[in-house]
């Protein structure tokens, strides 16, 4: 359970209706298979040991006695297994019959949890007080549904159980409040198969897990149930914070995955809705912590949708946010021109595309976008050509302003040698470009629209008061991977063949600041050689700043996501660099200009992730070195 991961499973074996002894054997087989696969929490459907389709037989002594014996058999078979199982059965307590979930661990029945919502069912509502029931010669507590089961090896893992209709809107408010402390909701379902049952269940699980900032583990009755009135599908699934992790449906369904309890607690720490904490001192299970083998997928681009089919709508939405933000700012300031410094790089290319869409939305001519290419000592003909082609195809006013003479004059003014390629040589060019763009914006009643993206602000790969500064930055909320996705989407969808070719070539060019002299017109200064792959940086940003993971956990996941891209040594080196730059470059983020966020994370000093400009990276680096 290292790093907060725990392997969980939902199982729906093919049973025989009312044959509790046979069903116990099937349940034991499932438990042993799950244990062999490293599962620590296993959920079965409601009334597993008898089937949900017994109708009036639920009140018969023979069925009730058989179910209790079957449960005792299952409990005995779990001795020595570090696996918490939730098994369903009907249970008689005096004159009442309950549908209960039995929590079974290492040969013991820890507790029995009755179904709360019994409307329309043959079962009784549970009494308020705790009672004890004899099962297999042992007294077991009949608890309420707000009972939590806590893992000794993973304190963040708190489990609550929901049976049948307890998961619907009729669930008592008190129950929902109590279960707010649970990070894993085990849902032992009883619904039959319909044409929409799987889609409905998946949607509900995604919603509940997102709403509660929890994981949901659901098991529904399987094919062995009676088909007198319904057919049952054996749907098993797991969801975490709105994301479906695993789903199986059919005979002997078994959905296995890993949930991240540490991640769920990280989410809750930033939300005041989860102040409620339940006492877990009574039902604690689990042995020593061990590393969980991970089977779930971790993608290289967590800032983008998981499937290609979702990407077009995602890009459209990002572009709409960028355009809407720019239009609002221009209308408020009574400005009618956009001024953009175009370099031929992917960031400035997206910026000029967004500006063209903004002026069109405002009913202004495309020439109201003033696209300025400002070549100097490191500008290649390839990037300059792409910048001009894109701007011209969009109908922008293109200005070519060579700033070399101005920069040399500035060097003379401050006593800097023309062949001294130190940091002042580079930054003077960036600051000269910003001065030119802002002054042109003032002349044309326009807005100097910034091009820097979120990834570059996080690693600080920008010149303070140079490209770091603008009057409004439409890329401020987008990571480099999101910027590239938008440009590729626009390249894929444009009917302008010249524009399409130029955009594809922009995407092929390496990321470069073009601030050092070049030879043979070749791009020599490459950003990713200095700060690492931006895809990798964006992965680190998502893991550490959004998910709240430690550097060592982030490294573990990066090894899975980038197994064929980088060596372990390279991943550790670039993660170390990222951590250092996160702290050392904060001063640039503390004074960022306005710009719209496109996801729930931003580094805006007003509403985004904030940190001191003189903080130390020591603890982050130490945690990485020690693991």
Half-sphere exposure at residue 439, Cβ-oriented, CA atoms within 13 angstroms: 7
pLDDT of residue 125: 86
Check pLDDT > 60 for residue 469. yes
Distance CA 86, CA 102 (A): 5
pLDDT of residue 178: 44
pLDDT tens digit string along 196-254?
999 999 999 999 999 889 999 999 999 999 999 999 999 999 999 999 999 999 999 99
pLDDT band at residue 169, thresholds of 50, 70 and 90?
very low
DSSP code of residue 511: P
Q: Which structure tokens are listed for 110?
A: 């820890």
Is residue 186 within 8 A of residue 163, CB to CB? The reply is no
Closest C-alpha to 11, from 51, 40, 37, 48? 48
Other Cβ atoms closer than 10 A to 56: 8
Check pLDDT > 60 for residue 131. yes
Q: Which structure tokens are listed for 478?
A: 């987008």
Distance CA 238, CA 41 (A): 12
Contacts of 233 (CB under 8 A, 6+ apart): 192, 193, 197, 198, 220, 222, 223, 249, 250
Q: Which residues pair with 523 in a beta bridge?
A: none
Candidates 3.40.50.720, 3.90.110.10, 3.30.300.30, 3.40.50.620; CATH matching 308-625 = 3.40.50.620
Check pLDDT > 90 for residue 120. no
pLDDT band at residue 136, thresholds of 50, 70 and 90?
confident
Report phi then psi at 107, rounded to 5. Answer: 85, 0
Closest C-alpha to 159, from 179, 144, 138, 176? 179
Is residue 455 within 8 A of residue 537, CB to CB? The reply is yes
Which carries the bigger pLDDT value, residue 24 or residue 281?
Answer: 24
Q: What percent of the chain has pLDDT over 90?
A: 77
pLDDT band at residue 15, thresholds of 50, 70 and 90?
very high
pLDDT of residue 515: 53
Radius of gyration of the chain (CA): 30
Q: Which fold has domain 2-285?
A: Nitrilase/N-carbamoyl-D-aminoacid amidohydrolase (3.60.110)
What average pLDDT does this structure show over 109-130?
85
What average pLDDT does this structure show over 167-173?
43
pLDDT of residue 173: 42
Backbone conformation region of residue 548, classed left if phi is above 0, alpha if psi is from -120 to 50, else beta: left
pLDDT band at residue 526, thresholds of 50, 70 and 90?
low
pLDDT of residue 334: 97
pLDDT tens digit string along 498-522?
999 999 999 988 766 555 554 555 5
Helix H, strand E, coil C: the string for 73-103 is HHHHHCCCCCCEEEEEEEEEECCEEEEEEEE
Check pLDDT > 50 for residue 174. no
Residue 22: is it exposed, middle or buried by C-beta count within 10 angstroms (0-12/13-18/19+)? Answer: middle
Check pLDDT > 50 for residue 170. no
pLDDT band at residue 275, thresholds of 50, 70 and 90?
low
pLDDT of residue 530: 82
Q: Which structure tokens are listed for 466?
A: 């140079």
Q: Which structure tokens are listed for 416?
A: 């800097």
pLDDT of residue 167: 47
Is residue 440 within 8 A of residue 370, CB to CB? The reply is yes
pLDDT tens digit string along 34-51?
999 999 999 999 999 999
Q: Which structure tokens are listed for 455?
A: 């990834």
pTM of the model: 0.90
pLDDT band at residue 102, thresholds of 50, 70 and 90?
very high
What average pLDDT does this structure show over 402-406?
93
Most confident of 138-152, 167-181, 243-257, 272-286: 243-257
* Pure H helices in 474-526: 480-493, 497-508
Helix H, strand E, coil C: the string for 213-240 is CCEEEEECCCCCCCCCCCCCCCCEEEEE
Mean pLDDT (the chain, rounded): 90
Check pLDDT > 80 for residue 280. no
Task: Tell me how many degrees the CA angle 503-531-420 measures, rounded to the nearest 5.
Answer: 95
Q: Which residues pair with 285 in a beta bridge?
A: 151
* Region of poorest pLDDT, from 174-178, 405-409, 554-558: 174-178
* Region of poorest pLDDT, from 66-75, 287-296, 470-479: 287-296
pLDDT of residue 134: 86
Domain boundaries, the chain: 2-285, 308-625
Virtual torsion, Cα 439, 440, 446, 448, nearest 10 deg = -70
Q: What is the separation of C-alpha 392 from the centre of its chain, rounded to a whole number of angstroms?
A: 39
Task: Tell me how many degrees the CA angle 330-333-339 measures, rounded to the nearest 5.
Answer: 50
Q: What percent of the chain has pLDDT over 70?
A: 91
pLDDT of residue 458: 96
pLDDT of residue 510: 74
């Amino acid at each position: 359970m290292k790093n907060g991961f725990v392997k969980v499973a939902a199982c729906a074996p093919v049973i025989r209706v009312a044959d509790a002894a046979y069903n116990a054997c099937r349940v034991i087989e499932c438990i042993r298979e799950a244990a062999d696969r490293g599962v620590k929490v296993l959920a079965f459907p409601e009334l597993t040991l008898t089937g949900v389709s017994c109708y009036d037989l639920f009140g018969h002594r023979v069925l009730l006695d058989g179910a209790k014996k079957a449960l005792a058999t299952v409990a005995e078979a779990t001795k020595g297994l570090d696996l918490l199982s939730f098994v369903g059965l009907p249970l008689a307590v005096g004159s009442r019959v309950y549908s209960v979930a039995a929590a079974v661990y290492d040969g013991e029945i820890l507790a029995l949890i009755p179904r709360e919502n019994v409307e329309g069912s043959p079962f009784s509502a549970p009494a308020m007080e705790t009672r004890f029931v004899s099962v297999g010669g042992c007294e077991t507590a009949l608890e309420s549904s707000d009972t939590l089961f806590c893992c000794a090896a993973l304190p963040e893992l708190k489990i609550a159980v929901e049976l049948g209709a307890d998961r619907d809107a009729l669930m008592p408010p008190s129950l929902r409040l109590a279960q707010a402390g649970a990070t894993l909701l085990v849902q032992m379902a009883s619904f039959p198969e319909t044409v929409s049952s799987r889609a409905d269940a998946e949607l509900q699980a995604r919603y509940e897990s997102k709403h509660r900032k929890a994981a949901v583990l659901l098991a529904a009755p399987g094919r062995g149930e009676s088909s007198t009135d319904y057919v049952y599908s054996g749907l098993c699934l797991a969801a975490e914070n709105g994301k479906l992790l695993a789903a199986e449906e059919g005979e002997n369904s078994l959905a296995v995955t890993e949930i991240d309890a540490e991640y769920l607690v990280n989410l809750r720490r930033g939300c005041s809705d989860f102040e409620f904490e339940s006492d877990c001192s009574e039902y604690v299970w689990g042995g020593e912590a061990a590393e969980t083998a991970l089977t779930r997928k971790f993608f290289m681009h967590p800032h983008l949708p998981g499937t290609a089919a979702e990407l077009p709508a995602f890009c459209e939405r990002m572009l709409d946010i960028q355009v809407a933000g720019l239009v609002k700012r221009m209308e408020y300031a009574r400005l009618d021109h956009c001024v953009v410094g175009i370099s031929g790089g992917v960031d400035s290319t997206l910026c000029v595309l967004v500006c063209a869409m903004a002026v069109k939305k405002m009913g202004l001519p495309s020439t109201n976008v003033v696209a300025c290419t400002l070549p100097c000592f490191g500008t290649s003909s390839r990037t300059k050509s792409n910048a001009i082609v894109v701007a011209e195809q969009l109908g922008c006013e293109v200005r070519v302003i060579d700033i070399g003479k101005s920069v040399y004059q500035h060097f003379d003014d401050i006593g800097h040698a023309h062949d001294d390629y130190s940091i002042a040589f580079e930054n003077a060019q960036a600051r000269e470009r910003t001065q030119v763009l802002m002054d042109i914006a003032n002349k044309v009643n326009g807005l100097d629209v910034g091009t820097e993206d979120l990834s570059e602000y996080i690693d600080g790969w920008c010149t303070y008061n140079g490209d770091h500064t603008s009057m409004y930055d439409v890329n401020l909320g987008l990571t480099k991977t999101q910027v590239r996705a938008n440009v590729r989407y626009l390249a894929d969808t444009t009917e302008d063949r010249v524009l399409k070719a130029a955009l594809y070539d922009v995407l092929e060019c390496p990321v470069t600041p073009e601030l050092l002299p070049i030879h043979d017109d070749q791009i020599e200064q490459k950003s990713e050689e200095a700060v690492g792959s931006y895809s990798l940086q964006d992965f680190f940003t998502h893991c550490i700043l959004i998910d709240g993971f430690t550097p060592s956990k982030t490294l573990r996941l990066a090894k899975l996501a980038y197994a064929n891209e980088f060596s372990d040594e390279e991943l550790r080196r670039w993660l170390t660099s990222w951590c250092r730059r996160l702290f050392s470059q904060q001063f640039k983020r503390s004074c960022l200009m306005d710009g719209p966020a496109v996801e729930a994370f931003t580094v805006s000093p007003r509403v985004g992730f904030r940190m001191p400009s003189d903080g130390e990276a020591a603890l982050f680096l130490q945690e990485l070195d020690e693991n």
